């Protein structure tokens, strides 16, 4: 079977954008925020309640996600609602989480001590 041709290496600018996106997604709090926002729009106060973080901390993380163009916000009456804007978030989250669960989920269950009978 012939090997598939490799795509051309992305430009320096594209590589920089990819790194920014992955770095933004690489924080545990930001991943939790993205998982919530994949389901529906949330306000900062709703995310604070869901995550158990301070308002300042949630706002800081949302600003990073917004700067990476992964989320946007809209104003609804007196609330600012956040949502995922880039469909790549779904595919990256699904791919990475599926891979991690396959690789490390099995290992975790294999390392559990068995009960003595």
As a whole number, mean pLDDT of residues 108-113 equals 48
Task: Classify residue 92: in a domain, yes or no.
Answer: no
Task: Classify residue 100: in a domain, yes or no.
Answer: no
Task: Classify residue 43: in a domain, yes or no.
Answer: yes
Under 8 Å between Cβ of 48 and 56? no
* Range of the structural domain that residue 65 is part of: 14-85
Q: How many domains does the chain have?
A: 1
Give strand pairing partners of 75. Answer: 80
Query: What's residue 5's pLDDT?
Result: 59
* Residue ranges of E strands in the chain: 42-43, 71-76, 79-84
Residue 63: CATH number of its domain: 1.10.10.10
Torsion of CA 69, 79, 31, 99, to 10 degrees: -80
As a whole number, mean pLDDT of residues 38-44 equals 95
Under 8 Å between Cβ of 71 and 85? yes
Q: Does the pLDDT of residue 51 top 80, yes or no?
A: yes
| 3-7, 12-16, 43-47, 98-102, range with the lowest pLDDT | 3-7
Task: Classify residue 47: in a domain, yes or no.
Answer: yes
Length of the chain: 117
Residue 93 C-alpha from the chain's centroid: 6
Query: What's residue 54's pLDDT?
Result: 97
Task: Classify residue 62: in a domain, yes or no.
Answer: yes
Task: Classify residue 27: in a domain, yes or no.
Answer: yes
Distances (CA, A) of 28 to 35, 49, 68, 77: 11, 16, 16, 30
66 vs 112, more confident: 66
Task: Classify residue 104: in a domain, yes or no.
Answer: no
Q: Does the pLDDT of residue 115 top 90, yes or no?
A: no
């Amino acid at each position: 079977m012939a090997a598939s041709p490799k795509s051309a290496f992305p430009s320096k600018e594209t590589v920089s954008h990819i790194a920014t996106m992955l770095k933004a997604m690489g924080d545990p709090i930001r991943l939790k925020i993205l998982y919530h926002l994949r389901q529906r729009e949330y306000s900062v106060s709703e995310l604070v309640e869901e995550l158990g973080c301070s308002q300042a901390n949630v706002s800081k993380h949302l600003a990073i996600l917004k700067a990476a163009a992964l989320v946007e916000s809209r104003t609804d009456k007196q609330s600012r609602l956040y949502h995922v804007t880039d469909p790549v978030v779904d595919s990256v989250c699904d791919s990475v989480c599926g891979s991690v669960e396959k690789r490390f989920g099995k290992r975790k269950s294999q390392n559990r001590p068995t009960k003595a009978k």
